[in-house]
């Protein structure tokens, strides 16, 4: 009996050990299991289904009726807020959303934080877009609302920073807080002309009943018919520029023009307009009247301002060039009084031409001068100038006659380096330059005293010859002035030749 009981106890112990081992294995099973693949389809309403095509990035919906509402929660692993909708795990993969079926609404936060979405198509009959439905869809290129949409809930398209176009249908009558806030890339705003609540004027979204600009684009022009600028209407529109606030504006809301870095200065002539906190950037310059609400706003906000009230004796600052003067047109400049905002303009005279480098048009030679030209860098005006002739290229050998020697230019074939023969003395018969040997019959024209050179002494010798021919004989005809006779005038002519050889050539 005791032996049987011991056997039963031993069997039970073994069985319990096996059970404990199995339990331990199951306890650690999740640690070694593979992660589940997220579902690419499912339901999102009583009669509504969704599916995601991973190959195209398209999220599609089929069926009809109401879409479920969702929430936006912080993903601890990703560190960002995304929708809790079942397709939320594809937040960075969905590029297109197809809502063309009979979807009655878009649920709250349905596509919150889906940063890769570029295009959304919605059925014309949709009536409501829920709270935060497309918030922070930062790649969405355009916002085209359904024609029959009546309600755009709070934050619906908040932070869609890449959207350039907003198109509103005929039936929209309610836009929630911040539904269209922080859309800094907008360039076009359109509203169906049949809409009785809103209109679009010069790319501004206007609430008709209050004459308020609810939203502006980078290309907007504020109409003079409106009286209010809503909070954040132009928030972060970096390319938006406005130089003067329309005088009929009575209120500019919180951060209405905040982040509009294109607004460097603005004139506010209304003395009573109310400006909300951060209505403009801190570095903007405001021109306003000294007793206006805008002046008080500027002082309280630490914003630089100038008075529109003109002073009697202006103290001008430095000139600012508005348009540079060129050689074709006058320029323009302006400067402001440093006390008030009186502005004075003046023209800048046309500048002289600014020529570039010289370019050789015609190469010079020893025959003729060359031509160089240069062009103004701002217009077609040109300037030309001559280039001096080049030097002759003389041949190596000399040619000569009894009066002198010379070389021939190899380019123009003219005589160059023409000189008289050079001898060491009157007894020397070989020219030191060309090597010609002279004969007793050779003479140098004008060298009547036969000393080998023509000087003023030859003129004196010729004069003596005229009076004392026998005592002062000459070796050549003495009619140097070519009048047919040898007289004292030839001596004077020879003297002029010595000093002015080119003007008085010897005959």
- Residue 100 pLDDT level (bands cut at 50, 70, 90): very high
In this prediction, residue 426 carries a pLDDT of 64
SS3 state of residue 467: helix
How far is the C-alpha of 292 from the C-alpha of 36, rounded, in Å? 66
Question: Mean of the pLDDT values across residues 116-131?
Answer: 96
Overall size of the chain counted in residues: 507
The HSE-up count of residue 430 (CA atoms within 13 Å, CB side) is 2
CA distances from 179 to 163, 186, 277 (A): 14, 14, 20
The angle, 0 to 180 degrees and rounded to 10, between the axes of the packed helices 488-499 and 456-467 is: 180
The rounded radius of gyration (Å) of the Cα atoms in the chain is 52
pLDDT digits (tens, 9 = 90+) for 210-220: 999 999 999 99
Average pLDDT score over the chain: 88
In this prediction, residue 314 carries a pLDDT of 83
pLDDT at 26 over 50: no
pLDDT at 30 over 50: no
How far is the C-alpha of 504 from the C-alpha of 186, rounded, in Å? 92
pLDDT digits (tens, 9 = 90+) for 261-316: 999 999 999 999 999 999 999 999 999 998 999 999 999 999 999 888 877 788 88
Cross-strand partners of 198 = 207
| 152: number of Cβ within 10 Å | 23
pLDDT digits (tens, 9 = 90+) for 432-462: 888 888 776 667 788 888 777 889 998 898 8
pLDDT at 21 over 60: no
Structure-token pair, residue 468: 């004392």
Structure-token pair, residue 336: 């402001």
In this prediction, residue 29 carries a pLDDT of 41
Nearest CA-CA partner of 217 in 142, 120, 119: 142
pLDDT at 9 over 80: no
SS3 state of residue 13: helix
In this prediction, residue 402 carries a pLDDT of 76
Domain limits, the chain = 41-307, 391-442, 447-507
Q: How far is CA 109 from the centre of its chain?
A: 41
Question: Mean of the pLDDT values across residues 166-193?
Answer: 97
State phi, psi for 417 to the nearest 5 degrees: 55, 45
Predicted model pTM: 0.59
Place of tokens 């905040």: 258
- Residue 17 pLDDT level (bands cut at 50, 70, 90): very low
Question: In the 8-state DSSP scheme, what is residue 172?
Answer: -
pLDDT digits (tens, 9 = 90+) for 381-419: 999 999 999 999 999 899 988 778 999 998 888 999 988
Asked whether the beta carbons of 418 and 403 are under 8 A apart, the reply is: no
Q: Which residues are CB-neighbours of 349 under 8 A, at least 6 positions away?
A: 325, 330, 331
Question: Mean of the pLDDT values across residues 52-77?
Answer: 95
pLDDT at 6 over 60: no
Domains 41-307 and 447-507 are alike in CATH topology:
no
How far is the C-alpha of 367 from the C-alpha of 193, rounded, in Å? 83
| Fold type of domain 447-507 | Type 1 dockerin domain (1.10.1330)
Question: In the 8-state DSSP scheme, what is residue 437?
Answer: B
Cross-strand partners of 168 = 191
CATH superfamily of 41-307: Ribonuclease Inhibitor (3.80.10.10)
SS3 state of residue 295: helix
Find the distance separating the first CA and the last CA of the chain, reported in whole Å. 174
Identify the H or E element spanning 376.
none
Percent residues over pLDDT 90 in the chain: 61
- Residue 478 pLDDT level (bands cut at 50, 70, 90): confident
């Amino acid at each position: 009996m005791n032996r049987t009981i011991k056997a039963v106890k031993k069997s039970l112990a073994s069985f319990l050990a096996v059970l404990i081992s199995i339990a331990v294995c199951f306890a650690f099973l999740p640690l070694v299991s593979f992660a589940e693949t997220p579902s690419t389809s499912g339901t999102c309403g009583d009669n509504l289904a969704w599916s995601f095509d991973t190959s195209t990035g398209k999220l599609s919906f089929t069926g009809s009726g109401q879409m479920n509402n969702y929430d936006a929660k912080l993903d601890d692993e990703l560190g960002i807020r995304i929708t809790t909708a079942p397709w939320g795990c594809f937040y960075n993969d969905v590029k297109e959303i197809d809502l063309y079926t009979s979807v009655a609404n878009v649920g709250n936060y349905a596509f919150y934080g889906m940063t890769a979405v570029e295009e959304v198509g919605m059925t014309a009959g949709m009536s409501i877009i829920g709270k935060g439905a497309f918030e922070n869809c930062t790649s969405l290129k355009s916002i085209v609302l359904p024609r029959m949409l009546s309600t755009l809930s709070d934050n619906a398209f908040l932070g869609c920073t890449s959207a350039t176009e907003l198109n509103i249908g005929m039936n929209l009558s309610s836009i929630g807080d911040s539904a269209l806030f922080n859309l800094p890339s907008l360039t076009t705003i359109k509203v169906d002309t049949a809409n009785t609540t809103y209109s679009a004027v010069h790319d501004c979204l206007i609430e008709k009943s209050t004459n308020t600009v609810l939203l502006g684009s980078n290309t907007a022009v504020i109409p003079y018919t409106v009286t209010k600028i809503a909070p954040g209407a132009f928030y972060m529109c970096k390319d938006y520029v406005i130089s003067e606030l329309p005088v009929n504006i009575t209120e500019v809301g919180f951060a209405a023009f905040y982040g509009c870095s294109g607004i460097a200065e603005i004139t506010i002539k209304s003395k009573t307009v109310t400006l909300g906190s951060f209505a403009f950037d801190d570095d903007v310059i405001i021109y306003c009247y000294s007793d206006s609400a805008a002046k008080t706003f500027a002082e309280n906000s630490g914003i630089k301002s100038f008075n529109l009230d003109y002073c009697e004796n202006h103290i001008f600052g430095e000139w600012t060039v508005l348009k540079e003067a060129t050689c074709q047109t006058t320029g323009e400049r302006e400067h402001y009084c440093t006390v008030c905002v009186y502005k004075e303009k003046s023209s800048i005279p046309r500048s002289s031409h600014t020529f570039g480098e010289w370019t050789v048009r015609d190469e010079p030679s020893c025959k003729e001068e060359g031509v160089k030209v240069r062009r103004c860098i701002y217009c077609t005006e040109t300037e030309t100038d001559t280039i001096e002739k080049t030097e002759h290229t003389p041949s190596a050998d000399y040619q000569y006659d009894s009066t002198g020697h010379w070389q021939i230019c190899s380019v123009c074939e003219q005589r160059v380096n023409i000189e008289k023969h050079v001898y060491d003395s009157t007894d020397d018969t070989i020219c030191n330059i060309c090597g010609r040997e002279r004969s007793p019959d050779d003479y140098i024209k004008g060298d009547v005293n036969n000393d080998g050179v023509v000087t003023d002494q030859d003129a004196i010798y010729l004069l003596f010859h005229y009076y004392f021919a026998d005592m002062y004989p000459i070796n050549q005809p003495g009619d140097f002035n070519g009048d047919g006779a040898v007289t004292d005038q030839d001596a004077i002519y020879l003297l002029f030749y010595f000093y002015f050889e080119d003007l008085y050539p010897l005959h």
